[in-house]
Each structure stands twice: as C-alpha cells, then as structure tokens.
Structure 1
Amino acid sequence: MAYGVVLRPDAETSRSLVELSYAIADGHEPLMALGEKAPPHVSVLHVDCAEEQVAGIVAATEPYRGRVFPARIIGLLYSVVPPGDYYVPTGGYYFGLEVVRNPTLDALHQEFLRLGHPPLGLVGEDYRPHITLGMTAAPPSRPPLSLVPGGVVDLTMASGPVGPFGTFPQLRE
C-alpha cells in the first residue's frame, strides 16, 4: 500500500490554499484540486509498504506530532506531467508552491527514508519539498498574484494512506 508522512498547514492557511487551487484550476479540466479529500501538505516521504508496516511508520511520527516546522514558500511552479507518471497516469499539468529544502525538512526526509520502505516519487538527492495545488488536463491559468502566498508557513506532521494524485483523503493528525 502507498503510505505517506506529510506536514500540514493550519486551517486558515489551508483555506487560502484551497482558494488558490480553484482560482488556477477552474475552467481548465481539473483532474485534482485541493479540498476536503485533498488537503494541502508538504510531503516528507511517500512509501510502498505492507499494511502491517504502517504501525511502525505511525510510531516514527509520534515524536513530531504537534511540533511546528516552519517552511519558506519561494514561488509558484507550473509543470507538464507526461503520461505514465505514477501519480498522474494520464499526464496533465501540475501547479504548486515550491518550498525551500531547508536542513530540518531534509533531515526529516532522510529519517523516514532510513525506515527502509521502498520510496515513491522523488527522494534522496531529488527531494523537492512543495505543496501541490492541483493538476489539470488543459493548461492552467495564472491566478491573481495577490492570492499566491510568500514567506514562511508553519506546518505540523500527519500521516495516512496516499490517495489519487498523491492526495491524503484520510490523514491521521
């Protein structure tokens, strides 16, 4: 099963990110937009593991529950995703917020890699913290720049099964 450890923004920040997601995706054949079943998050690591191994991953998150991890948003990225991608088999257009790969986020990523489960997606040297805002089938629009956040956002740890498009419809916070 696909399981992940993520960092979540607070409720107010999450609402503003959902609004931004819809401002970009609306009218462009959304494949995925943020919302209740796709909460905003920065991935620490997604892995492939047996269901009986999930308890070990959850236990590894316990020392971090409730701790605040500041992360700096540095920009809005758009990218073409070719067909055959693990998270977007049909291909499409990605849009999301880039986050600085600071020593704290990198150390968390490395710690969860050391649990030894086969990782999914970009890991190790290629680890790129980000907040996926959405995926569309048609090229997405540019939002009003006033909606694009900048600066530092505070995040807290959660975990759960990975859903469609790398979402987390059942996070354990």
Structure 2
Amino acid sequence: MAYGVVLRPDADVSRSLVELSHAIGDGHEPLMLLGEKAPPHVSVVHFDCADDATAGIAAATVPHRGRSFAPKIIGLLYTVVPAGDYYVPAGGYYFGLEMIRTPELDELHQEFLQLGHPPLGLVGEDYRPHITLGVTAEPPGQPPFAMVPTGIVRVTMASGPVGPVGTFPELAS
C-alpha cells in the first residue's frame, strides 16, 4: 500500500490554497484539485509498504506531532506530467508551490527514509518539497498573482494512506 508522511498547513492557509487550486484548475479538465479529500500538504516521503507497516511509520511521526515547521515558498511551478507517471498515469499538467529544501526539511526526509521502506516519488538527492495545487488534463489557467502566497507557511506533521493522484483523503494528525 502507498502510505505517506506529510506536513499540513493550518485551516486558514489550507482554505486559501484550496481557493488558489480552483482559481488555476477549474474549467481545465481537473484530474485533481485541492479540497476536503485532497488537503494541501508538503510531502516528507511516500512509501510503498505492507499494510502492517503503516503503524510503525505512524509511530515514527509521534515525536514530531505538534511541532511546527516553517518551509518557505519560492514560487508557483507549472509542468507537464508525462503519461505513465506513478501518480498521474494518464499524464497531464501539474501546478504547485515550490519550497526551499532547507536543512530541517532534508533532515526530516532523511530520517523517514531510514525506516527502510521502499520510497515512492522523488527522494534523496532529488527530494523537492512542494505543495501540489492540482493536476489538469488541459493546460491550467493563471491565477490573480495576489492569490499566490509567498514566504513562510507554518505546517505540522500528519500521516496516512496515499489516495488518487497523491492525495491524502484520510490523514491522521
């Protein structure tokens, strides 16, 4: 099963990110937009693991629960997702907020990689902290740039099964 460790922004920031997601992706054949079943998050790592391994991964998050992390947004990225991608098999158009890969985020990423489960996606030297805002089948639109957040966003740890298109419909905080 696919299971992940993520960092979630608070409710107010999450609402603004959901609005931004829809401002960009609505009307462009959305494959995934942020919302109740697709909460905004910064992935620490996603694993491909046995169902009975998820309790151990969740237990490894306990020392970090309640701790606040402060990743810094550096920009809005649009890119093409090729067909055959693990998260978006049909391919499409990704848009998301890129974060600085700080030593703190990298250390957290490395700590969870040491659990030894097979990772999914970009890991190790290729780890790229980000918040996926959405994926569309058609090229997405541009938002009013005043809607695009900049600077630091406070996030806290959560974990749960990875859903369609890298979403987390059942996060445990």
TM bucket normalised to smaller: over 0.9
**Paired residue secondary structure (2:128):** coil
- Structure 1 segment 76-155 matched on structure 2, within 5 A: 76-155=76-155
Q: Deviations over 1:64-101 (max 9, x none)?
A: 00000001000000000010000000000000000000
CA displacement at 1:142 relative to structure 2: 0.8
Query: Following the alignment from structure 1 to structure 2, what is the Cα–Cα distance between the partners of residues 57 and 137?
Result: 33
Report runs of 4+ in structure 1 exceeding 6 Å deviation: none
CA displacement at 1:26 relative to structure 2: 1.0
CA displacement at 1:137 relative to structure 2: 0.2
Structure 1 unpaired stretches of 5+: none
**Paired residue secondary structure (2:154):** strand
Query: Following the alignment from structure 2 to structure 1, what is the Cα–Cα distance between the partners of residues 52 and 19?
Result: 37
**Aligned length in residues:** 173
CA displacement at 1:63 relative to structure 2: 0.2
Structure 2 unpaired stretches of 5+: none
Aligned to 2:53: 53
**Paired residue secondary structure (2:21):** helix
Which residue identity does 1:7 align to in structure 2?
L
CA displacement at 1:30 relative to structure 2: 0.4
Aligned to 1:10: 10
Aligned to 1:35: 35
Query: Following the alignment from structure 2 to structure 1, what is the Cα–Cα distance between the partners of residues 9 and 85?
Result: 26
CA displacement at 1:2 relative to structure 2: 0.2
TM-score (norm. length: structure 1)? 1.00
TM-score (norm. length: structure 2)? 1.00
Aligned to 2:63: 63
Query: Following the alignment from structure 1 to structure 2, what is the Cα–Cα distance between the partners of residues 102 and 132?
Result: 18
Query: Following the alignment from structure 1 to structure 2, what is the Cα–Cα distance between the partners of residues 71 and 11?
Result: 17
Over aligned residues, Cα RMSD in angstroms? Answer: 0.3
